Amino acid sequence: MARLKHWFLLSRVPFLSVVILPYILGALLAAVLTGFLSFKIFLLGLFASVLVQLAAHYNGEIYDIKEDRLGATMEKNFFTGGSLMLVEKLIPEKKVKLLSYTVILLALLIGVILQFYFKTGFWTIPLGISGMICGFFYSKPPLRWVSRGTGEIFIAYAFGWLPVAAGFYLQASRFDPLATLIALPVAFSVTNIILINEFPDHPADRSAGKQNILVRIGKEKGAVLYAVLTLAAGAAFFYAVFSGVSHFSLLFYAPVLFLALRSALLMLKGAYNDRKKLEKLCGMTILVNLGTSLSFILGLLFGR
């Protein structure tokens, strides 16, 4: 049981919801617009999406180990700095490396099955490969997006736009502008998750030479960027609703927006300098992201 717990922590299972809800949202939108939903395709696509995120988690544990070691003695909180399973040598690194390749190859195999057996469309494999490149190489050299100041953009794509678009495309075999519109607030809010998690990791990242966006621009400008992304997410949500998504989504989004604006205000006031407040803000930012997807989902379910 102890070993199972270690693997559960390594996989950071609760955080898989960040890709699960947007994928469900895309598939549900396709069902609403086309009147059709294949559960086999839905489940296979969902499994592949989760596998790609797991690959990102595993490679982060392996290739961010220097920063994680430093962070464990600095400002790490519950939401940041990895699981420490490799830092504490509770799981062998070789097994994690093998698992990272296994899950990504399995995701690719599912993509082949979806495209050529279930005939989900030409863009099935290209969409999957784009997600793999973003997730698998987010921390892994030689690309290692996380150290280039561009990792946040790749996260916005791979865990914002892509799961919504893939969930929709696999069901409808086409793209739709509305799917992109509802993906935008998800993309902005998931970028804020990465950004705010860089605040407690900042001392360790800077010491290790990691050049993510926060190391490059500093905490004060990072707080401003967080607020800008919050406003962009809110504006994009309203734009999507008035472009064709059920207005019921606004009812569910109201408390999410309040939480988002409160978080942004606290960041602008410098709450990131208080470790306890920052940890709460990290959690609140995740809730905003999940709440954004869930608001759309509930609006689609109960608004038509």
Amino acid letter, 93: E
Query: Could you say which DSSP state residue 160 is in?
Result: I
* Residue 271 placed within a domain: yes
* Residue 2 placed within a domain: no
Q: What is the mean pLDDT of residues 42-61?
A: 97
Is residue 1 pLDDT above 80, yes or no?
A: no
What share of the chain in percent tops pLDDT 70? 99
pLDDT confidence of residue 74? 83
Q: What pLDDT band is residue 174 in, cutting at 50, 70 and 90?
A: very high
Residue 168's nearest CA partner among 176, 159, 160 is 176
Range of the domain at 295: 9-302
Distance CA 45, CA 128 (A): 9
Is residue 149 pLDDT above 90, yes or no?
A: no
As for how many domains the chain has, the answer is 1
Q: What is the mean pLDDT of the chain?
A: 95
* Residue 34 placed within a domain: yes
pLDDT by residue (tens digit) across 68-112?
Answer: 888 888 878 888 888 899 999 999 999 999 999 999 999 999 999
Task: Round to the nearest angstrom and report the end-to-end CA distance of the chain.
Answer: 45
Distance CA 175, CA 196 (A): 31
Asked if 164 contacts 300 with a C-beta cutoff of 8 angstroms, the reply is no
* Residue 3 placed within a domain: no
Amino acid letter, 22: P
Question: Which residues fall within 8 angstroms of residue 88, CB to CB, at 6 or more apart?
Answer: none
Distance CA 83, CA 14 (A): 12
For 137, the 3-state DSSP assignment is coil
* Residue 1 placed within a domain: no
* Residue 111 placed within a domain: yes
Is residue 263 pLDDT above 70, yes or no?
A: yes
* Residue 124 placed within a domain: yes
* Residue 127 placed within a domain: yes
- For the record, the structure tokens of 274 come out as 């208080």
Q: What pLDDT band is residue 304 in, cutting at 50, 70 and 90?
A: low
pLDDT by residue (tens digit) across 196-220?
Answer: 999 999 998 888 888 899 999 999 9
Q: What pLDDT band is residue 2 in, cutting at 50, 70 and 90?
A: low
